[in-house]
Structure 1
Amino acid sequence: MNKRVAQPRTKEQWREFCERPAPPRPELVSRREYESWLAGRQIPFDEQRRSCNANPPFIKHPQLQRVLAALQPKLTQGQYSRDGTYHSAIINGPGHCGKTSLLKLIGKECELDWHRRHPEMAPMPSASPAEFRGDFLGDRVPVIYISASTGATAGMLSQAIGKFLHVPNPGRTATKWTLTDPVLDAMEACGTELLLLDFTDRY
């Protein structure tokens, strides 16, 4: 994923985010040893260190584990529910406390767990977007992650979900039904089990 795409906006970008391996950690060296290196060795080491520091692993500390344990029944319910009533949860807090990171962690774990449970249905991690973009209804999308501004309307959210699933946008002539119904049909056909809405003020 390019750096300019900070938030996944399509199922391909989301899948790439979930499958992306963590950058390798640089070796631990003392300052004295580092300063004894020639520039030809320091430069690639610094690049590796910056890459690792910019993409740190998500640590499941005790407080986070308690949050995940409280959310687990709601997440599991989406896998087995047969009626139209689904559990929901709201994660709220001050800015920069990790809400987006938590949502992505939850979504990534659910996505990868679904791949493990259904290896015959999940696209190969190495598949290019062109290989499964044509028929979006034939592509299973267990998790949908949407990042939107706090003032987003229901129509805006439907458009964002439609973009995520490659549902054609009816354009300016769209009504509530012509905009929302195709998106709901696509979510059902794609077997979506978890919808994550990340509302942010950073837009």
Structure 2
Amino acid sequence: MSRTAPAPTEDTARLDNLTLSRKEGWRSFVESPARPQPETLSRKRLKALAEDDLIDYNRHRRAWHANLGPLKTPQLAELHEDLWDIIDSNAQDGDKAKGAVGIDAFPGLGKTTSVLAFAKEFHRREAVEAGQFTSSGHERWPVCRVGLTGSTGMKDFNRAMLKFYAHPGTERGTAAQFADRALDWVLSCETKLLIVDDLHFLKMREKSGVEISNHFKYIANEFPVTLLFIGVGLAARGLFSEGSSYSDSVLGQSGRRTTPLGMRPFTVENNAARREWRQILLAIEQRLVLADKYPGMLADDLSDYLFERSTGHIGSLMTVINRGCQRAIRTGTEKLDTGLLDGVKGDAAAEQGRRELQAAIQSRRITTTTKTRAG
């Protein structure tokens, strides 16, 4: 009998980008159990696997490394603390408009991932405290998520809310009628958090953008929800601004009610920052399932290199590590080192910023090593 690896048994939903804009997909995201980490086998045990068992084991490893997050980075923890403060303070009675949140940060810093992790916790808390159904017998949906596109108008936005709930009335009606239907379902399902992702796609200083901004103000006034906007360059696009023009004054009203939050990159400017970088590498290292992985593979031997490759952005870091693990498994290398990772392509923004960092690290003008470790 061949020696086999204990294959993880998982029923994890395979989600596409649109699934989270539908309640069934959202529930799968919230309720699916955590993906089990495959056992790390030695090379000897790998060689002992039967061919079918090895194929199955590597399939699980590929899926595992492609879904390593979310990691509880300091940035994620800070954002979640702020969000809990804001959401829990928005328990006002219905005659009071609730404060909104605008998460504004560069791409690759984990905005959406962090918000989804928070929203999952919030949904679970509400379901535990109040039950899966409302007192009127309706399904409880604490969270509604809407993703914007470059052509989203007021009617499209309202229809997207209705489609999240699988409302039958999404094909015919005016923008106002769609809004009334959405309000009915928000009230019936006792939704408390409305996530609006990719707000930067909205051209807020054009007529359609002003209309949507007015519509957000209407939602904040009439819907018993906290609006949570996610985007890039929201301040520059006018979400938080005050001004003298008509569009700026309208958007300024939103600014008075919207709390801006951000996500910072990792830096190595001081010892505390370098410790944060080391801790995230140690956390990732523990999750890697490679036969020749060893303590310090990332946090010691690849610390400078990975900072250079990622420029401190968690998204770029996870891209390089994920792709490196896929190549390490496929080629039988079974570990990460500079030789293997040099052949792995990263995202364009990280590669563009890499040269300057590479020169600074090589000249020792900056380092990711803490003073304690260095001395």
- Which residue in the other structure is 1:125 paired with? none
Question: Which deviates further from its counterpart, 23-32 or 76-85?
Answer: 76-85
- Which residue in the other structure is 1:186 paired with? 185
In our comparison, the structure showing a higher alpha carbon Rg is 2
Separation in structure 1 between the aligned mates of residue 18 and residue 47 of structure 2, nearest angstrom: 35
1:201: Cα distance to partner? 7.5
**Superposition pairs of residues 100-119 of structure 1, within 5 angstroms:** 100-119=112-131
Aligned pair count reads 188
Contiguous gaps of at least 5 residues in structure 1: 123-134
- Which residue in the other structure is 2:163 paired with? 163
- Which residue in the other structure is 2:58 paired with? 46
Contiguous gaps of at least 5 residues in structure 2: 1-12, 202-375
1:6: Cα distance to partner? 4.5
1:142: Cα distance to partner? 1.0
Separation in structure 1 between the aligned mates of residue 114 and residue 80 of structure 2, nearest angstrom: 9
Deviations 1:108-167 (A, max 9, x none): 111011111123637xxxxxxxxxxxx9x8222111112222542222111000111123
- Which residue in the other structure is 1:10 paired with? 22
The higher relative CO (CA closer than 8 Å, separation ≥ 6) is in 1
Aligned 8 A contact 1:103 1:198 in 2: no
Separation in structure 1 between the aligned mates of residue 121 and residue 70 of structure 2, nearest angstrom: 12
1:75: Cα distance to partner? 1.2
Tell me, yes or no, if structure 1 residue 88 matches structure 2 residue 79: no
Separation in structure 2 between the aligned mates of residue 65 and residue 2 of structure 1, nearest angstrom: 26
In structure 1, what residue type is equivalent to 2:180?
A: D
**Closer, same or farther in 2 for the Cα pair 1:78/1:142, shift >3 Å?**
farther
Separation in structure 2 between the aligned mates of residue 165 and residue 65 of structure 1, nearest angstrom: 30
- Which residue in the other structure is 1:140 paired with? 140
1:170: Cα distance to partner? 5.7
1:5: Cα distance to partner? 5.3
- What secondary structure, in the 3-state scheme, does the structure 2 residue paired with 1:90 have? strand
Tell me, yes or no, if structure 1 residue 70 matches structure 2 residue 82: yes
Aligned 8 A contact 1:9 1:164 in 2: yes
Runs of 4+ in structure 1 over 4 Å off: 1-6
1:80: Cα distance to partner? 4.6
- Which residue in the other structure is 2:70 paired with? 58
Separation in structure 2 between the aligned mates of residue 81 and residue 57 of structure 1, nearest angstrom: 37
Separation in structure 1 between the aligned mates of residue 118 and residue 181 of structure 2, nearest angstrom: 26
- Which residue in the other structure is 2:311 paired with? none
1:96: Cα distance to partner? 2.8
Question: Which deviates further from its counterpart, 78-87 or 91-100?
Answer: 78-87
In structure 2, what residue type is equivalent to 1:145?
A: R
Deviations 1:43-80 (A, max 9, x none): 11111111212222412122211111122221113445
**Closer, same or farther in 2 for the Cα pair 1:169/1:118, shift >3 Å?**
same
- Which residue in the other structure is 2:38 paired with? 26
- What secondary structure, in the 3-state scheme, does the structure 2 residue paired with 1:91 have? strand
- What secondary structure, in the 3-state scheme, does the structure 1 residue paired with 2:70 have? coil
1:20: Cα distance to partner? 1.0
Separation in structure 1 between the aligned mates of residue 78 and residue 97 of structure 2, nearest angstrom: 25
- The alignment's TM-score, normalised by the length of structure 1, stands at 0.80
Aligned 8 A contact 1:78 1:193 in 2: no
